[in-house]
Structure 1
Amino acid sequence: MSVLDALQATLADEHAALYTYGVLGARTSQATSPALFETLTAGYRRHRARRDQLRLMVRDVGGDPVAAEAAYDLDGTLLRPPQLERAAADLEAASVEVLLALVARSSGSVREWALTEATWSAVWQLQLGGGAATWPGAPELDLP
């Protein structure tokens, strides 16, 4: 996989993340769950900025940015705040994996950017109630 391929895969993942955050936000009440609404809004904004940056990065290496799908499959039972938080935490965990694949395939400023974003998603996953886990690719760091 080339750097361009890894950038495109990361961009495709960001399109899906934005769609998911949009649905999660629409299923959250700003009046009854203001903290969750703000958390999901912050996640959406970060992923939107990430998507925009990835589009530029793809163009910088001579590619044509992959387009978003018309729709993505989501769990239709995501209705209660704990379910929404869990879905967002799972989304961030998946983002970490995709971003670390980009880290592995890149160098310089692209690698630095991807590592920064992977770190943000890992921390955000904890903010959303997810558990701490060893990053993919380092099973030697798992505790017995």
Structure 2
Amino acid sequence: MERSDDISSEIEATIVYFNKDEHAFLRDGMKLTIKGENYIFIEINNSSKKSGNILLHEQGHCYYGHTHLNCHAFGWKNRQEHEANMYMLEKRADEWLSKYDWEPEFVDIEAFLDYFELDYKHYNDAYNIFKHILAQNSGAIL
């Protein structure tokens, strides 16, 4: 396991890169508090985009002030995960649109998801984010 000295002040955690074969009990993006210190575990073989998605997701939890308690109801946990995913998708959408010199008339959602190595389960949320951004800025549609 590799420990990164890179600590995000917003996430307030140490990022630890691990090998799944050696540490099968860890999950990609898992956040643990050990002896009062926060750690986020990221699989060492991830691409920089996938690792970035995980960190943006965790940043989303911080942005919304989420807490990770074992006593939360399942629906509450789902809500927090959805909000953190939306935060990550919004940041990725901003990054995608920053490549254009103008607001595009069309956004290929599948190309966006593929480029950032995102699961297609995010399709509808990504669509709605782009729809909101483009309609707000220029009236364009997807």
TM-score category of the 2 structures, normalised to the smaller one = 0.3 to 0.5
Rg larger in structure? 2
RCO higher in 1 or 2 (8 Å CA, sep ≥ 6)?
1
TM-score, scaled to structure 1: 0.35
Structure with the higher strand share, 1 or 2? 2
